């Protein structure tokens, strides 16, 4: 059995917490995605190193005096491709628990197996949250067939990151590799947030082309947050920047989408945003500390 993850992070000593980092390959060389998707996304994001190891990711964030939430996505049904090893990911995070926080992932379309897998990853392995990508996994999160899974995750008391908005995965491929953007409309998460008020939901990325919807949901539901990953801050929708400076200042979270975007590049563009001085530390660390329960 993989080592159980125990949190070893001193949040007070960190400069920032990156809420959105992907591990794309395991120690056996098995990738999280079919080769065609990996190659297309690397081209789309112009990433230099698409598949750093978990230990290398830890080194990057240790050198930057940051912590990072790391995960992969289990989309075995839709992609006909097994994910890279999630137990190994959590074990590696346990080995680097001064800087890494592991989130698990299950394929909602596997029904009872998804529920059992979520319990195993959380209770036996120590996952501190879960990652879902409705478009990549090919499911509508508001469909009540998935409600038993959300009920389980609410009972476990762990936050869930859901991809929203535009997809780099499949971009530029015929038919987008069969990936349907509509599953990542944040409005589908409004029903989940309403019906499971104890479930902390993080809408990943600026939700282009549905940013107003995401803003509205995060404003309306106290259990909904937005991470700012996947886009350079210089391309953020104006409404997101404006509300991050006001009513959403306690609801938005620093995230990069590393290795697709590096923390250095993201932070360089973030420095140019017209944000209040008191808002920046909330986005970079304080909101994540509260959400992840890292305050001590």
Q: 253-290 b/e with 16+ CB inside 10 Å = b?
A: bbbbbbbbbbbeebbeebeebebeeebbebbbbbbbbe
Q: What percent of the chain has pLDDT over 90?
A: 85
Q: What is the side-by-side strand order in the sheet with 100-102?
A: 16-22, 66-71, 100-102
What's the rounded Cα separation, in Å, for the pair 9 and 268? 25
Q: How confident is the model at residue 171 (pLDDT cuts 50, 70, 90)?
A: confident
Mean pLDDT computed over 94-105: 97
pLDDT of residue 254: 98
Question: Which stretches does DSSP call E strand in 85-146?
Answer: 100-102, 130-132
Q: Of 39-48, 100-109, 239-248, where does mean pLDDT reach its minimum? A: 39-48
134 contacts: CB under 8 Å, gap ≥ 6 = 140, 141, 162, 163, 183, 184, 188
- For the stretch 112-165, pLDDT in tens is 999 999 999 999 999 999 999 999 999 999 999 999 999 999 999 999 999 999
pLDDT of residue 41: 59
pLDDT of residue 35: 77
Closest listed residue to residue 261, CA positions, set 25, 74, 49, 29: 49
Could you state, in order of their start, the residue ranges of all structural domains in the chain? 16-292
pLDDT of residue 40: 65
Is it the case that residue 266 has pLDDT exceeding 60?
Answer: yes
Q: Of 39-43, 212-216, 252-256, 291-295, where does mean pLDDT reach its minimum? A: 39-43
pLDDT of residue 31: 82
Is it the case that residue 43 has pLDDT exceeding 80?
Answer: no
pLDDT of residue 42: 63
Mean pLDDT computed over 87-113: 97
Task: DSSP for 133-175, please give it.
Answer: -HHHHT--TTSGGGHHHHHHHHHHT--EEEE-S--STTTTSGG
- What CATH code would you report for 16-292? 3.20.20.140
pLDDT of residue 1: 42
Is it the case that residue 47 has pLDDT exceeding 60?
Answer: no
pLDDT of residue 92: 96
Question: What's the pTM value of the predicted model, to 2 decimals?
Answer: 0.95
- For the stretch 212-250, pLDDT in tens is 999 999 999 999 999 999 999 999 999 999 999 999 999
Helix (H) or strand (E) holding 65: none
**Averaged confidence pLDDT in the chain:** 94
Q: How confident is the model at residue 22 (pLDDT cuts 50, 70, 90)?
A: very high
126 Rama class: left (phi>0) / alpha (psi -120 to 50) / beta: left
Q: What is the 3-state secondary structure (H, E, C) of 176-221?
A: HHHCCHHHHCCHHHHHHHHHCCCCCEEEECCCCCCHHHHHHHHHHC
pLDDT of residue 20: 98
What's the rounded Cα separation, in Å, for the pair 223 and 103? 18
């Amino acid at each position: 059995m993989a080592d159980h993850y125990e949190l070893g992070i001193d949040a007070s000593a960190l400069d920032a917490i990156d809420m959105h980092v992907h591990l794309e390959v395991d120690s056996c060389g098995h990738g999280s995605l079919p080769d065609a998707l990996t190659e297309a996304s690397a081209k789309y994001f112009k990433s230099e190193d698409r598949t750093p190891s978990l230990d290398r990711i830890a080194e990057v964030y240790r050198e930057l005096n940051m912590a990072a939430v790391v995960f992969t996505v289990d989309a075995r049904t839709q992609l006909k491709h097994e994910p890279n090893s999630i137990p190994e990911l959590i074990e590696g995070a346990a080995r680097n628990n001064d800087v890494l926080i592991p989130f698990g992932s299950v394929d909602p379309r596997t029904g009872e197996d998804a529920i059992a897998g979520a319990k195993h990853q959380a209770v036996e392995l120590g996952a501190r949250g879960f990652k879902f990508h409705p478009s990549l996994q090919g499911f509508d999160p508001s469909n009540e067939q998935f409600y038993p899974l959300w009920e389980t995750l609410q009972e476990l008391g762990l936050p869930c990151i859901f991809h929203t908005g535009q997809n780099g995965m499949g971009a530029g491929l015929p038919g987008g590799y069969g990936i349907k953007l509509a599953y990542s409309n944040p409005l589908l998460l409004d029903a989940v947030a309403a019906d499971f008020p104890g479930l902390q939901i993080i809408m990943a990325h600026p939700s282009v082309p549905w940013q107003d919807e995401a803003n509205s949901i995060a404003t309306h539901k106290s259990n909904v947050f937005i991470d700012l990953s996947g886009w350079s801050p210089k391309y953020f929708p104006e409404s997101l920047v404006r509300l991050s400076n006001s009513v959403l200042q306690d609801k938005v979270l620093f995230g990069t989408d590393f290795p697709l975007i590096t923390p250095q590049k993201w932070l360089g563009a973030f420095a140019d945003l017209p944000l209040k001085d008191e808002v920046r530390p909330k986005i970079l660390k304080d909101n994540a500390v509260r959400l992840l329960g890292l305050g001590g």
